[in-house]
Structure 1
Amino acid sequence: MADDPVETQDGAGVPDELERLWTPHRMAYIRGENKPLDGTTGECPFCRIQTLDDEEGLVVHRGDTAYVVLNLYPYTPGHLMVCPFRHVADYPDLTVEETDEVARLTQAAMRVVRSVSGAHGFNIGMNQGAVAGAGIAAHLHQHVVPRWAGDQNFMPIIGRTRTLPQLMTETRQLLADAWA
């Protein structure tokens, strides 16, 4: 109705009896902070992670040509990414050694996550290019997303929010300890 107020004088809005689950940490993702537009601009977060210690960078395992890291904006708990150390965007541009290690680390990631969480299945894949959905298209990364029966509920569909039952630092430690 035209005379129904949509906002109170203090700007708080009219109560609508909905609960709010605030996720302010997501604003960095929404704003695209630290996302390189291409291979030459901006600081690449996947290159920066390599310079941090494992705990600070949420690195679970480092190999010879690639590493495994927790996703800062996970779809599910334990959502990992396998990244080559080298700043490369396109899958065909990986060396034979990088391709082999990305594949082997993906397999190991599945085994480790399954052993510590009892995951029922996985979504595995990479988005090549911004138009294909890559959030950071300038540095190739393979997603390893654990799934459980019934893990999709109303929160991501209606509430557009994902719930994570464990702190990222605890998840990283659990996976890193189990990696060996």
Structure 2
Amino acid sequence: MLAGMTSEPELQRGVGEPDGFRRLWTPHRMAYIQGENKPTGPAPDDGCPFCSIPKLSDEDGLIVQRGESVFAVLNLYPYNGGHLMVVPYRHVADYTELDGPETAELGEFTKRAMTALRAASGAHGFNIGMNQGAAAGAGIAAHLHQHVVPRWGGDANFMPVVGHTKVLPQLLADTRKVLAEAWSA
């Protein structure tokens, strides 16, 4: 077994039992699991983070770039380092609700996100998509958002497979700064 990894019997130990430092802690994920920053209802004034983020500074909101109809923001609970979302300012749930200019800018921002991520991180590929509705896995179903997740050959190493966690080697604020600079290049 790899150093620092936990065997199946050790996973069944109770809290507080010695484990020889063989657990991988990801406490930031608990905020997501418990629903932090999730809206209480479908309306924009029901605590929608995608409606409140644009009111913050770029640094505080982790906004990489602002457009006329959409903005690019880092995901607080990323699947991979550099995980961006392209989000319309307008509070709409479904892709079919976007008007022509919003649709065009969402597509253009997706292309620009890919370009910036390649320049900043050397991404080899991307997972791009939107989950439409809670049944499709949308964490915030009331406000449309498109994920742009950079991928690298071999990035699915033992950590997500065995440890059920991702290791992100950079603070989100630092990632935002690097991508914002690459976006403008």
TM value normalised by structure 2? 0.88
Residue pair 2:40, 2:47 contacting (<8 A) in 1 also:
no
Q: Kindly report which structure 2 residues correspond to 1:57-68, keeping only aligned pairs within 5 A, or say none.
A: 57-68=61-72
Residue of structure 2 in register with 1:3 after alignment: none
Asked if 1:106 corresponds to 2:110, the answer is yes
Residue of structure 2 in register with 1:168 after alignment: 172
Q: Helix, strand or coil for the counterpart of 1:106?
A: helix
Paired residues in the alignment total 171
- What displacement does 1:21 show? 2.5
Residue of structure 1 in register with 2:8 after alignment: none
Residue of structure 2 in register with 1:92 after alignment: 96
Asked if 1:147 corresponds to 2:148, the answer is no
Letter in 2 for 1:97: P
Tell me, which stretches of 5 or more residues in structure 2 are unaligned?
Answer: 1-12
The counterpart of 1:33, out of the listed 33, 36, 56, is 36
TM value normalised by structure 1? 0.90
- What displacement does 1:102 show? 0.4
Letter in 2 for 1:27: M
Residue of structure 1 in register with 2:124 after alignment: 120
Deviations 1:100-157 (A, max 9, x none): 0000000000001001111000000000001101011010000000000000012112
Percent identity over paired residues: 63
- Cα distance in 2 between the residues matched to 1:16 and 1:23: 16
Residue pair 1:35, 1:42 contacting (<8 A) in 2 also:
no
Letter in 2 for 1:169: A
Q: Pairwise CA RMSD of aligned residues? A: 1.4
Letter in 1 for 2:97: D
Q: Helix, strand or coil for the counterpart of 2:55?
A: coil
**Runs ≥4 residues deviating over 4 A:** none
Letter in 2 for 1:159: G
Residue pair 2:87, 2:144 contacting (<8 A) in 1 also:
yes
Residue pair 2:88, 2:145 contacting (<8 A) in 1 also:
yes
- What displacement does 1:34 show? 2.5
Q: Helix, strand or coil for the counterpart of 1:50?
A: helix
- What displacement does 1:27 show? 1.3
Residue of structure 1 in register with 2:5 after alignment: none
